[in-house]
Amino acid sequence: MAAFIIRRLIWTIPVILLVILMTFVMMKQIGGNPFRRSERPVPPQVQENLERKFGLDQPWWQQYITYVKNTFTFDFGPSLSAPGRDVNDYVTEQFPRSIKLGILAFIWAVLLGLPAGIIAALRPNSFWDYGVMFFSNVGFAIPSFLVATLLIYYFAVKFSLVPTSGWPLGVWELDSRVLLPSFALGLLPMAYFARLVRGSMLETFQQDYVRTARAKGLRYRRVVGVHVLRNSLIPVVTAAGPLLGFLVTGAFVIEFIFGIPGIGKGFIDGVRNRDYALVMALTVLLSVVIIFANLIVDILYGILDPRTRART
């Protein structure tokens, strides 16, 4: 297992290099002047000073080397688009908030999605099954920004149960402001989990070993708890890794609507304003998150499924 993990970790280096290269090429391809933010032209002298300050007067390969160096020394320098801000600020201050949002949404998904799926699978074609599947479809179909806006309207504006927006800034700090955004973000994975668990459990119920277990006279609860549930969770875990990565990184819209100071806005502004330093830092960061999420999934596989363990 250790060798496997080390091998995977080493592999992340070429992946990150490739991510930097592709991001770099794409950012250069779309063109546009990072220093021109309004209709106002940038006087040539100002443009020159800015280009010198941010190293944009250098040949492209030198700029690429600089980005690579910055990435591996974790010093991304000042932001091009937000004069006076350091890109490292986004990474150290704002990224943890996005992580918190993603994890909370994930908790909603697990807390509600898994039980819902299990209930549906235990009573297929019942009222509960149809109910769960209905909500799962709804969760899939309705975009999160609509859910978010509705939640704010009813829970914050109309009934004043929670504030409309804002976010507890401390890493471990939680208050009522986290409820709506994390729920809105968690709705899709919730629906996804419910569906996945139901399908996977129904399939497992058909397996021979389940029939054997029941034939042996094991109690229903034990059959479900040990044999069915455990094996049904493998596809869920497969989906969960990338999903967690997606939740941590893909919450731009939710962050925007709820005024959460995460990395979402930085990412969007970074691309819009051609802030090479910011985009580079955030892309690398997000790739690292996804890589690690997948790594954890692979490790969990080994624990849940003895067959993979045998192979490694």
Partner 1 sequence: MRRKTWLLLLASLVAVLSLGAAGCGGDDDDGGEAGQDTGAATDGGGQPAAEQVMTVAWGADPPALDPGIAEDTTSSNILLNLMDPLVKLNPDTLEAEPALAESWDVEGPLVTFHLREDGTWTNGDPVTAADFEYAWKRVLDPELASGYSYQLGGIKGAAEYNSCESNCAALRDKVMVTAVDDYTLEVELTSEQPWFIQQASHHVFLPVHQATVEEFGAQWTEPQNIVTNGPFMLESFEHEANIDLVKNPDWRDADSVSLDRINGRIIIDGVTRVQAFEAGEVDALDGAGLPPEEIERLKTEPYYEQYPALGTYYYGFNTKNISDIKERQALSLAINRKIITDNIDRTGRDQATGMTPKGMPGFDVINPDSEWLPPEGDMERAQEIYAEVANPHSQINLFHNDAPGHKEIAVAVQDQWSELGVQTTIKAQEWAQFLEFLGPPPNDEVDVYRLGWIYDFPDALNGLEVFICDDPPGSTNNSTNWCEPEYDALVDEARATPDEDARWEIYGQLEDLMFGPDGGLPITPIMWYTYPNLENDAVRDTFFISPLDQIDFTKVVVQEG
Q: Assess 85 for contact with partner 1 (CB under 8 A).
A: yes
DSSP E strands: which ranges in the chain? Answer: none
Q: With beta carbons less than 8 A apart as the criterion, state whether 228 and 214 touch.
A: no
58 in contact with partner 1 (CB under 8 A): no
Q: Which of 88, 128, 203, 210 binds partner 1 (CB under 8 A)?
A: 128
What whole-number distance in Å separates Cα of residue 225 and Cα of residue 118?
11
**Residue 276 CB contacts under 8 Å (≥ 6 apart), including other chains:** 24, 27, 34, 54, 56, 63, 67, 80
Candidates 28, 53, 69, 230; binder of partner 1 (CB under 8 A) is 53
198 binds partner 1 (CB under 8 A): no
Which of residues 68, 88, 140, 163 is near partner 1 by CB under 8 A?
163
Most distant CA pair in the chain: distance in Å? 85
CA distance 51 to 213: 71
Which range of residues in 31-39, 61-69, 202-210, 284-292 is near partner 1 by CB under 8 A? 31-39
List all residues 6 or more positions away from 187 whose beta carbon is below 8 Å from its beta carbon. Answer: 108, 139, 142, 144, 147
- Member of 62, 149, 207, 212 binding partner 1 (CB under 8 A): 149
Q: State the nearest-atom distance from the C-beta of 176 to partner 1, in Å.
A: 3
Among 190, 257, 278, 281, binds partner 1 (CB under 8 A): 257
73 binds partner 1 (CB under 8 A): no
- Does 12 bind partner 1 (CB under 8 A)? Our answer is no
Q: Which is nearer to partner 1, 10 or 171 (CB)?
A: 171
- 74 is an interface residue for partner 1 by CB under 8 A: no
Q: Which of 74, 130, 209, 220 binds partner 1 (CB under 8 A)?
A: 220
C-alpha pair distances (Å), 178 with each of 49, 144, 157: 43, 15, 16
Q: Which stretch binds partner 1 (CB under 8 A): 79-87, 193-201, 236-244, 276-284?
A: 79-87
Show the tokens assigned to 106: 């994930």
Instruction: State the helix-helix crossing angle for 179-205 and 114-122, rounded to 10 degrees.
Output: 30
